[in-house]
Amino acid sequence: MTQEDYQLFENMYLAKINKVDIRFVRYLYKAINWDVRLIGIKGARGVGKTTLLFQRIKMAYKKTDTVFYVSLDNLWFQSHTLPELADWLYLRGIRHLFLDEVHKYPNWAIVIKNLYDTYDDLNIVYTGSSMLEIDHSRADLSRRQTLYTMQGLSFREYLAINKIKDVQPLPLGQLFEEHQTAAMDICRDISVTKHFSNYLKEGYYPFHIEAGSDYLARLDETAKLVIESDMPAVENVSTIQKTKQLLMVVAGNVPLVPNISKLSTQLETTRDMCLKMLYTLDRAGLVLLLTRNVKDYKHLVNPEKIFLGNTNLMYALGSRVNEGTLRETFFLNQLSLGHEVCSPAQGDYLVDQKYLFEVGGKNKTFEQIKDVEDSFLAIDGIEIGSHNRIPLWMFGLLY
């Protein structure tokens, strides 16, 4: 590491920080305990992890002489090491290190563990792919770090980032009790139906604002990059082309009720490899697996249904955008953060082993789940609900 290298890195990241907008910050920012000395942030490509780091630096550090940001996919690391960089920075007073794209660095977990143990006043925040199995790495970071997972924009965040309306999060328990009052307040000011429709098509990833009309094309490219670049860096995946094929099979048949034997034959692979590819796509945020019991990535079982990871992907990957599937995908995606969602014997979704949901249009009734305690309808096409009949869009207010 030389002073010239340092100056080049610093100039690049300071230029980005100066441009970053801090008027809107993601839900996760306030949830993170920034006082912890080692913080990990996982998330799918494109959900805004890098922006979150820049916002933190801009908002928390008036002077930059103790803080440094670097992305570990930088070509500099082809001939240099992270310990070399960290040592040079530490000797010059850097005590806050922000590391982006850690999954692109070989043996990153061991290296970060060693940095944490070596410099007892060095604070590290890193981001990585949602596929990282950090707690099970050879370097046991679980005892040292606090780990967070970042999801794409909720409908509530979409309204905020587009300066449509600021709405406070409405956790599930509170939503059950207050949905009617909250809906009347929100619908008084905006056309919820119009904005919700736009969100379902192009509102899940923050880069929709800068991408404009190119958004869906860029999202298609993002999905390809996840498979071609991120997966090989995290998983021992030698079946890139088959994983792409599998994703397109899902995209063309959602919701897919899979026959794993037939699917593996179609892809000319084994049943075990087919399941591994499916669960890897799930962890990458490209598909959502609905299982009978709570998902366990150590024990891969046949999913009951397979959806794309979010509604925007349905449009970007050229799948059949069926209205019913769109509703179910949105609900599953939004409830998957902070809740356990399973496939029940009756109804569409069982949430937290307690709440039973049916998802449908405005004519949906309780017929299929009548007399079931803690049962609810998530109804599309209505702005305001009543009792256990809740507008579907309101499940986008959870975070």
Query: For 339-360, what is the mean pLDDT?
Result: 97
CB 215 within 8 A of CB 221: no
Q: pLDDT band for position 86 (50/70/90)?
A: very high
User: Is the domain of 121 the same as that of 248?
Assistant: no
Residue at 155 is within a domain: no
User: Is the domain of 205 the same as that of 302?
Assistant: yes
Tell which of 150, 178, 210 closes a domain.
150
Cα diameter, the chain: 71
Residue at 158 is within a domain: no
Over residues 233-250, the pLDDT tens digits come to 887 666 899 999 999 999
Q: How far apart are CA 311 and CA 313, in angstroms?
A: 5
Cross-strand bridge partners of residue 349: 357
pLDDT at 64 over 60: yes
Residue at 157 is within a domain: no
Q: pLDDT band for position 200 (50/70/90)?
A: very high
Structural domain including 121 reads 3-150
Q: pLDDT band for position 319 (50/70/90)?
A: low
Supply the pLDDT for residue 134. 61
Total tally of structural domains belonging to the chain: 2
Query: For 270-289, what is the mean pLDDT?
Result: 95
pLDDT at 135 over 80: no
- Average pLDDT of the chain is 94
Q: How far apart are CA 22 and CA 51, in angstroms?
A: 9
User: Is the domain of 208 the same as that of 346?
Assistant: yes
pTM for this model (two decimals): 0.93
Query: For 4-31, what is the mean pLDDT?
Result: 94
Supply the pLDDT for residue 237. 61
CATH code of the domain in which 73 resides: 3.40.50.300
User: Is the domain of 206 the same as that of 122?
Assistant: no
Tell which of 150, 173, 204 closes a domain.
150
pLDDT at 387 over 90: yes
Over residues 90-118, the pLDDT tens digits come to 999 999 999 999 999 999 999 999 999 99
Q: Could you tell me the two tokens for 291? A: 């299982």
User: Is the domain of 133 the same as that of 170?
Assistant: no
